[in-house]
Amino acid sequence: MIRVVLADDQTLVRAGFRSILSGEDDIEVVGEAADGEQAVALAHEQRPDVVLMDIRMPGTDGLEATRRITTDPRLAAVRVVILTTFDMDDHVYGALRAGASGFLVKDTEPMELLHGVRVVARGDALIAPAVTRRLISEFANRRKRPAPSPRLNALTEREREVMGLVGAGLSNDEIAARLVLSPATSKTHVSRIMTKLGVRDRAQLVILAYESGMITPGWMT
């Protein structure tokens, strides 16, 4: 059972998400929060698998609440998905840096919401194409190309290749197909990379791939 906490200051938004999620046999909404403080408290109390977190809330906002959840060793298993709107894409980078595992647009289709919750609950990143484009733009607009991170020295050439594909948004199955590997081998590579680099999840791998200059606009073309 996937346990979910909803954090949004709008009661109707929470009610809508609860209605969709509660209709699934494998998902249970275990709490609702109207602000960041309540979200953090519920994360400690309920230890959910996923927190759906609005960015703009009174008091402690979603970014700070996300940071507090993802940096707390006691909540290492809790994943945060940011609820955003099209006009708030400027928060993408900050939220990923804060430890979010992905994004969902508030008016997303029900099936996309359910898919997103399940994807993040199993440990994958959820970064929609539109959000990925925003991330690319963020780094493309920088005047200086970032220097390669010395942390990458721990990786083999194959692991660097796999990490680059993770950064480009490919799933384990897609990486396996591109590199002619088995899905299990692809998954093993990703797990080893995360262990070597000490990152929380795939979303953090994406950030590190961009910050170290591994991914640039047009990289996959």
Over residues 66-92, the pLDDT tens digits come to 999 999 999 989 999 988 775 455 566
The pLDDT value recorded for residue 19 is: 95
**Entry pTM:** 0.73
Q: Compute the Cα dihedral for 94, 61, 83, 49 and give only its sign.
A: positive
Helix axes 202-211, 183-197, angle to 10 degrees: 70
pLDDT of 158 reads 95
pLDDT number for residue 200:
79
Output the six-digit token pair for 151. 């942390």
Query: What are the φ and ψ backbone dihedral angles of 56, each rounded to 5 degrees?
Result: -95, 105
The pLDDT of residue 8 is 95
Distance (Å, whole) CA 55 – CA 57 = 6
pLDDT of residue 7: 97
Q: What is the pLDDT of residue 204?
A: 80
pLDDT in tens, 25-47: 999 999 999 999 999 999 999 99
The pLDDT assigned to 146 comes to: 57
**What's residue 133's pLDDT?**
54
The pLDDT value given to residue 143: 45
Q: What pLDDT score does 129 carry? A: 52
Helix H segments across the chain?
A: 11-22, 36-46, 62-70, 92-98, 110-121, 129-140, 157-167, 172-179, 183-197, 202-211
Q: Are 56 and 62 in contact (CB under 8 A)?
A: yes
Q: Are the C-beta atoms of 203 and 209 separated by less than 8 Å? A: no
Low-confidence stretches of the chain (pLDDT < 50) are 87, 143, 221
* Per-residue model confidence (pLDDT) at position 180: 93
